[in-house]
Amino acid sequence: MKINSLIKSIIVSGALFGAGFGALAQESSIEIVKQSMKPGAEPPTWVSVSGFTGETESLLRLDLYVQGFNFTNAENAQYQIIGSNSGNLQGRVTDRYNKNTLLSKAYSGASLLQQTHAFVDEFVRAIGRQGIAQTKIAFKHDTGANSEIHVADFDGFDGQAVTADNTIVAAPAWVPHKLALYYTSYKLGNPDIFYHDLSTGQRRVFSRYSGLNTAASVSGSGRVTMILSKGGSPDVYDCNADGSGLLRLTATRADESSPCWSPDGEWICYATKVNGRRILEKIRATGGTPERVSTSGVLSPSEPDWSPDGKWIAFTSQMGNFEICVVPANGGPVTELVSGEDPSWAPNSRTLVFTRREGNRRVLSLLDVPTKQYKDISRITGSNSQPSWAK
Amino acid sequence: MKAIRFVTLIALGTTLSFLGAGCQPQNLRKIPGQYAATPEVPPQGMIIPSAPPSESTSGLIELPTFPGHTNWNENAGQFSADTIHFAYDSSVVRSGDKSKVEDVANYLKANPQTAVRVEGNADERGTEEYNRSLGERRALAAREQLVGLGIESGRVDTLSYGEDKPVDPGHNEAAWRQNRRDDFILLTPPSK
């Protein structure tokens, strides 16, 4: 482990300083290719944090913790993070093993919050991972008898209300690479799917057939899958971004739910019921015969979400309580992670946002899949559920 | 790529703080344009024939093309005694509840100008979108019974609230039993 880390930090330093580490870099890139995520079975990356104060420090720690870092003193840390946040943010990251400085930067412009997000992203990228500190989530916010859609930074800052429909609004789904959402609103007296462009504030009705229109999910090319019941039972459909080309993919008496896309747009995975037992299936987005997605070992799977790297499907298992689980998309053992439901992958394919039930409240929480470290998004108050991570 | 996204977020943030004088509940700011024109008409040209049903769909009764009974008057009281309840995770109408469905059918037969909306609901023990589909399945089960009793399918709308509209907000079996239900809402034509 230590050797791996050492090699990894050398490759990064080599990239930074440009010369002298060519041979080592080649060797270590082989190491990196070998690494594949082990859900719930990896140790955290130890870091020390000093010099930061107040909200900036707690934000920094939250953002790192849910990406698999944990905190120790400077002697035991693999990476030492030193800085200050008086006025603007300054930060320096040193690798303890080879004493190299990975990153040293003073930020200006935007807010301290955004500077902190940028710093966390640069550190995470400097050790070869994908940063998520500047991404957003959307979620259903309970307002009593009703609910509305809100969006916020993934760590809960900068929350904004998207809808003010004074009815039930649910199931938000981001359009990849756009500040736009699909969601289900009962505003017109029926569960209909709306498309809402957050950059202009304009929205339109996307799907308003008789019966149920819900659970939209958007592919990388903008095609939409959703649940409609116009054929006499809740079934999986998909169509183009303008609503044309509607295909009915399932035609069963069972109650299908929560379709999601494979990142290549080839497959749609969803929950259904066969002989009274809930299972996950996948079907080609152009139609065909459904294939079972094995979730052996756990019961009653629903709410699948396919990781952006294509390797994993996260889902909720219901065995008395709800459990967040992951399974390799091409088959393999299921790993049960933590209690909770409705997982949504971050763009880094390792962090999930999910919902925990706590008494009468539903709490949004962030989970680092390899380390199983999770933390509630305490800045998002009230009762919230159905999170969707922008990708 | 990252830089572009960051700039977009800053731009969004700036726009929001510029326009965000009116605070919303939870001190959340409003997305600009929320009250701008929101065309609330069904998208045109979207109704496309479904794929031919397979064998497993036998007995499914297609829903009418939208808009059904938009703007009709709703009367929740007429059939309040006819609410039917379901077993956990089931959408089978219990034999003991069939007389309630018959009550509704008899009223509809005696009042041919009326229609009904079946509202399906689930308890909270299930994931949210699963329950939205289950609630719809429950509403459709009652609709199939009404059609079987001779009511024209075009007179029966369905609507699922999933677990979002419990009659009892408790977290125990007594509450859940009440929440796994179909309510029947009488619909009468809008007065001319």
Q: Is residue A343 part of a domain?
A: yes
Give CATH for domain B68-188. Answer: 3.30.1330.60
Last-in-domain residue among A126, A160, A183: A126
Residues A248 and A379 in one domain: yes
**Annotated domain spans of chain B:** 1-30, 68-188
The total of structural domains in chain A comes to 2
Residues A86 and A147 in one domain: no
Which domain-ending residue is among A107, A126, A145? A126
* A172 domain residue, yes or no: yes
d(CA A61, CA A173): 28
**CA separation for the pair A229, A255 (Å, rounded):** 9
Tell me how far apart the alpha carbons of residues B115 and B79 are, in angstroms, rounded to a whole number: 12
Residue A10, domain extent: 2-126
> What confidence score (pLDDT) does residue B66 get?
65
Sign, Cα dihedral of B74, B131, B146, B49: positive
Q: What angle do CA B109, B113, B114 make, to 5 degrees?
A: 75
Amino acid at B51: A
Q: How far is C-alpha A19 from the geometric centre of its chain's CA atoms? A: 37
A178 contact residues in B (CB cutoff 8 A): none
Q: Which two tokens stand for residue A189?
A: 């007296």
Residues A93 and A142 in one domain: no
The closest CB to that of A190, out of B64, B132, B159, belongs to B159
Of B29, B63, B128, the CB nearest to A230: B63
Instruction: Say yes or no: A220 and A119 in one domain.
Output: no
Question: Which of B10, B65, B129 to substitute to test the interface with A, most A CBs within 10 Å?
Answer: B129
Tell me if A179 and B12 make a contact (CB, 8 A cut-off).
yes
Q: Are residues A312 and A357 in the same domain?
A: yes
- Model ipTM? 0.89
Which residue, chain included where needed, has tokens 């290549």? A264
> Does the residue A131 lie in any domain?
no
Same domain, A65 and A21: yes
Which chain A residues are Cβ-neighbours of B31 within 8 angstroms? 151, 160-162, 198, 201
Q: Could A231 and B33 be called an inter-chain contact, meaning their C-beta atoms sit closer than 8 Å?
A: no
| Whether residue A357 sits in one domain with residue A306 | yes
Query: A116 and A143: one domain?
Result: no
Which residue of B34, B50, B128 to mutate against A (max A Cβ within 10 Å)?
Answer: B128
pLDDT in tens, chain A (391 residues): 333 333 333 332 223 332 333 333 333 444 444 458 999 999 999 999 999 999 999 999 999 999 999 999 999 999 999 999 999 999 999 998 888 999 999 999 989 999 999 999 999 999 999 999 999 999 999 999 999 999 999 999 999 999 999 999 999 999 999 999 999 999 999 999 999 999 998 999 999 999 999 999 999 999 999 999 999 999 999 999 999 999 999 999 999 999 999 999 999 999 999 988 999 999 999 999 999 999 999 999 999 999 999 999 999 999 889 999 999 999 899 999 999 999 999 999 999 999 999 988 999 999 999 999 999 999 999 999 999 999 9
Do A155 and A18 fall into the same domain?
no
Instruction: Kindly identify which residue of chain A lies nearest to residue B126, measuring between CA atoms.
Output: A318
Q: Do A258 and A232 share a domain, yes or no? A: yes
CA-to-CA distance for A349 and A67, rounded, in angstroms? 10
Cα-Cα-Cα-Cα dihedral sign, residues B146, B150, B154, B155? negative
Same domain assignment for residues A385 and A257: yes
Q: What is the pLDDT of residues B43-100, one digit of tens each?
A: 333 232 333 333 345 567 887 766 678 889 999 999 999 999 999 999 999 999 999 9
Same domain, A199 and A289: yes
